[in-house]
Structure 1
Amino acid sequence: MNEILQRLSPISSEKAIKILIIIIGAILFTLLVRLIINQFTKSRFYKDLFRKTAPKRRLKTFMMITKNSLTTLVVLTSLFLIFDILLEPKELTTILASAGIIGVILGFGAQSVIKDVINGIFILFENQYVIGDSVKIGDIAGTIEDITLRVTSIRDIEGHLHFIPNGEVKTVSNRSRQWSRVILDVGVPYNEDLKKAFDLLNEIGKEISEDENYKNYIITPIRVLGITEFGESSAIIRVWGKVKPGKNFPINREFRKRLIEKAGQLDLKIPYPKQAIILKQE
């Protein structure tokens, strides 16, 4: 092996030119592929072809993985061609045999990497999630920023970027598929008029469903489901409805805002934690 490596030092100008051509060709080919994919995703044809967000995000995910996979393939192919130029067939066979032995040794330590790649393939073909989806994997919740065959990158609500090996992905909760549920539990004191509370909550739900800023996100009307629990000082009334994926969060916030405003106007009390302090004088 050492003798073969020593013979690599005197490289003829002809071989050097061939190696340079391979390196330049590999770089240009990689850049060309990346440029074509990037330009395609920005084109009007791409935007018109995929008017729906879901298939567009899935195609974008596959394009990202294709770019990375092609880059790896080009690098490996270039290295093989360079060694083929530098070495005689017998010498190349010897190096490949030695590399095979080393590969077997490293293989035992690379089992987790293989597991990650295999699981990554299943994640992609089963369409479990794509770039842009809002998901929860284990204890980490956020938006998918990048996917490779080995790692999934998630950005959480605080801005932290988490890298999760695909082999560690066991259970995925995808919040970006088909629809989301608006669920709000509102406490109403027992001495309040429940009918008035029901009417107020249904009125707010109707207003949001007709609001220009939210009506396109509503799938089924937001309405009162009923009393779901008896609290210590109030009855818990649940409000719910179906909305487009990921739109439950802004609609929840808007519903709470309007509830506080209208409850004050109608003199409807909303319970809140109270603490009584008793001062005892001696």
Structure 2
Amino acid sequence: MNLLFLSNVLADKIQNFLATDQLNTFLINAGFKIVSVILILVIMSIVRKLGKNMIKKAFAVNIERIQKVTGGTERRKETFESLALNIWRYAVNIVLILWLLSVFVSLDKLLVASSALVVVIGFAAKSMLDDITMGFFIIFEDLFSVGDFIEIDGNTGTVTEIGLRSVKIRVLTGEIVIIPNGNIGKVINHSVSNGQAVLDIGIAYEADLDKAISVLQKVASEAFNQYDDILQVPQVLGVQELADSAVVIRMIAEVSPLQQWHIQRELRRLIKLTFDRENIEIPYSKMMVYQKNEGSPSHE
């Protein structure tokens, strides 16, 4: 009986709702909110794109002035451009979220809720604040910039983006590694100074040591004349180690930034070809097999 009574009451209320102006008011409010959300999304999408294009044009047109302000280098200009785009993206997203919420919540309640939310975030998001703080230190102290080849905690690659919260690095295998700014510890930057190509060349103990050093000095002189990235004539420092199966000679060369690996490969190629012509033996692993010859068994 109670269930039937409740059903009748609910049916009466639904009928009254459909028969009055409440339905029209509800549909009008719902339609207004849907249209408002669509318009907000369209407007903010246009604003985001316009702002992004304006930032890129500003950095492209005023290159000389911006480079003078940011330290006079292309890498710094790209870094500040990346930061400006990152800040713009955050600002647009925050405004978009607040604007969408204002469609469903009154402005007074939204401001009160936002204030309380800021307090909660301030206590709960310490790591985020650490990331943002470290991001500003990275940029303004010029620890590294967009386009630099760096190494962070075992991740080696080219910096593609520096944001307020994270750094993106494209590693040698092509993947993008995202590292929170607050987690960045030791950084090795290979792009800010000349590189050093270091080669340890092993020769056999039977080889003529003085001849090998003389040949390496000749190779160093030829390589300096052949490669513009070698800034000074490579130096043959002498015997670095008396290893188990080789006499190790060290050669070093000062090269342009990021060119040390390329020059090392080229020097090894030239040294191998020259050693072959000069009959200087490069040791390699060998295996000696001894076979015991036993006499044939005697027959009685």
The structure showing larger relative contact order (alpha-carbon pairs under 8 Å, at least 6 residues apart) is 1
Name 2:29's counterpart in structure 1: 10
Aligned mates of 2:293, 2:121 — CA distance in 1: 78
Determine if contact 2:102/2:110 at 8 Å carries over to the other structure: no
- How high is the TM-score relative to the length of structure 1? 0.80
Q: 1:74 to 1:227 in 2, by over 3 A?
A: same
* Equivalent of 1:172 in 177, 184, 187: 187
Higher Rg: 2
Name 1:229's counterpart in structure 2: 241
**1:63 and 2:69 aligned:** no
User: What amino acid is aligned across from residue 140 of structure 1 in structure 2?
Assistant: N
* Equivalent of 1:199 in 197, 201, 214: 214
Per-residue Cα deviation, 1:23-59 (whole angstroms, up to 9, x for no partner): 555433321232234345666x749996xxx811221
**1:36 and 2:54 aligned:** yes
Aligned mates of 1:231, 1:187 — CA distance in 2: 9
Aligned mates of 1:169, 1:274 — CA distance in 2: 46
Name 2:113's counterpart in structure 1: 98
Name 2:7's counterpart in structure 1: none
Range with greater deviation from structure 2 (136-145 or 239-248) = 136-145
Aligned mates of 1:141, 1:265 — CA distance in 2: 38
Tell me the CA shift for residue 80 of structure 1: 4.2
Secondary structure of the structure 2 residue equivalent to 1:146: strand
Name 1:185's counterpart in structure 2: 200
Q: 1:105 to 1:38 in 2, by over 3 A?
A: closer
User: What amino acid is aligned across from residue 204 of structure 2 in structure 1?
Assistant: P
Aligned mates of 1:48, 1:269 — CA distance in 2: 58
Q: 1:131 to 1:278 in 2, by over 3 A?
A: farther
Per-residue Cα deviation, 1:209-243 (whole angstroms, up to 9, x for no partner): 111xx22x222221202222221122211100211
Q: Which runs of 5 or more residues in structure 1 are unaligned?
A: 1-6
CA-based RMSD: 3.3
User: What amino acid is aligned across from residue 160 of structure 2 in structure 1?
Assistant: E
Secondary structure of the structure 1 residue equivalent to 2:262: helix
**How many residue pairs were aligned?**
266
Q: Which runs of 5 or more residues in structure 2 are unaligned?
A: 1-25, 295-300
Aligned mates of 2:293, 2:159 — CA distance in 1: 61
- How high is the TM-score relative to the length of structure 2? 0.76
